[in-house]
Each structure stands twice: as structure tokens, then as C-alpha cells.
A and B are shown apart, each in its own frame.
Chain A
Amino acid sequence: EDKVVQSPLSLVVHEGDTVTLNCSYEVTNFRSLLWYKQEKKAPTFLFMLTSSGIEKKSGRLSSILDKKELFSILNITATQTGDSAVYLCAVPLPRDDKIIFGKGTRLHILP
């Protein structure tokens, strides 16, 4: 059965800290992995990763994929209170035209 597992489920840190969020997956015919940030209601797209070892970066956020070990990490450096959100990892299932989501990591940044 295809699955996506995120850890930790929740995380509380102080502003300025660096955090690493983890996502492991078991998916048949893997093609890509997605990261979303969810504040309030709607997930917003962060990264799509398809190749191992190539870091995607956007400001203080970066992510990398390891297709051999079947995981990805999302790093946030110099965290700010505005980074508080649920971060969702997801893997598309092209054969079904669906995406399966992990349970998310709820990140809370203390001022």
C-alpha cells in the first residue's frame, strides 16, 4: 500500500532556530514528491522534487530528496513566526491521477 509518513507530527521552536521536517514514502512507480505549506485553510505549493540530491531552495526554505532511502527533508533556517503552519508532504500517483498526503507537521514558532 502506498504511504507517506511525516515526522515529527508537531514541533515548537523559537524564532531564529533552524528546523528540519522529515518525509518518508513507500510508493510504487515513484515520480515526484511535493511539499506544501498550509496556513488556515488552503495548502500552498512550495516545492516539487524529482531528482535525488538536488536541493530546491526558496529564501529560507530548502528541500532535498533521497530516492535511494525514500525520504525528503524540508529545512527552514532563521525561522520566523510567519513560518508557523502545517507542512504537508505529498506524493503523486500518476497511474491514478491522485496525490497521497502525509499527516503533516504542525510547526509553531515562538517569538
Chain B
Amino acid sequence: SAVISQKPSRDICQRGTSLTIQCQVDSQVTMMFWYRQQPGQSLTLIATANQGSEATYESGFVIDKFPISRPNLTFSTLTVSNMSPEDSSIYLCSVEDPEGEDTQYFGPGTRLTVL
């Protein structure tokens, strides 16, 4: 398994501002993932972040809105830019299983509220 920390755990932000969420894992992993979970919905993958390359975004998500950094094998950031109330969600990072199994392990999540 992997131990993942994420911060902030929650934030309340004003419309038009940006927030950067940090994700730290206790072991080196190639693939990290960022998800969004809107109220009452399941998890939606925003992008996959591999160290040393540009993040791969899913349909409906763009780099200008959700820039991602992956400077090393244990850390990633997701920025939610120019926020609107529709961005109010839980944001979760996850990592591939360090031992190569199919599962992913999730960070504790960031609850974002945009006023």
C-alpha cells in the first residue's frame, strides 16, 4: 500500500481566485492521478500525472483550468484556476499501487467550496 497526504484538507475560496492542492506519497510511484468528486457523484478522473512528462487530461478538463505539476516521484500539485462555484467539489489524488497491483490508493481529499 501507500500512505498519501494531501493539503489543504479543506478551503473556502472566492470566485476568480486559484487554489493549489498538494499531494505527497511515502514511496516513489510513476503514476499519480487527480480526481474530482462533485456532491452526490462518483469519482471523475481529471488527469494522470507522470513524472517527467506533461499530464494527460481527460475529456472535459484542460490544462489552463487545472494545471498539474509532477516534479518528482513522490509529489504532485493540482491547481484549480479562476474558480467558480461549479468547482466546489472534493479533489482527491491517488497513486498506483507501488507493488504493481491494479489498485490505486487515495489521499484524504481536499474539500473545496467556492463562494
> In the complex, what residues of B have CB within 8 A of residue A88's CB?
42-43
Docked complex Cα distance between A44 and B106 (Å): 7
For B63, the chain A residues whose CB sits under 8 A away are none
Min CB gap A84→B, angstroms: 16
Report B113 CB to chain A, min CB distance, Å.
Answer: 13
Interface range on chain B (Cβ under 8 Å from partner):
20 to 34
Bound: A31/B102 CA distance, A:
8
Give the interface of A toward B (CB within 8 A).
31-32, 34, 36, 40-45, 48, 88, 92, 94, 97-99, 101-104
Within the assembled complex, what's the spacing in Å between the Cα atoms of A32 and B97?
Answer: 14
B75-115 at interface with A (beta carbon < 8 Å): 90, 92, 96, 101-111
Query: Once the chains bind, are A97 and B48 in contact (CB under 8 Å)?
Result: yes
Contact of B108 among A36, A42, A97, A104 (CB under 8 A): A42
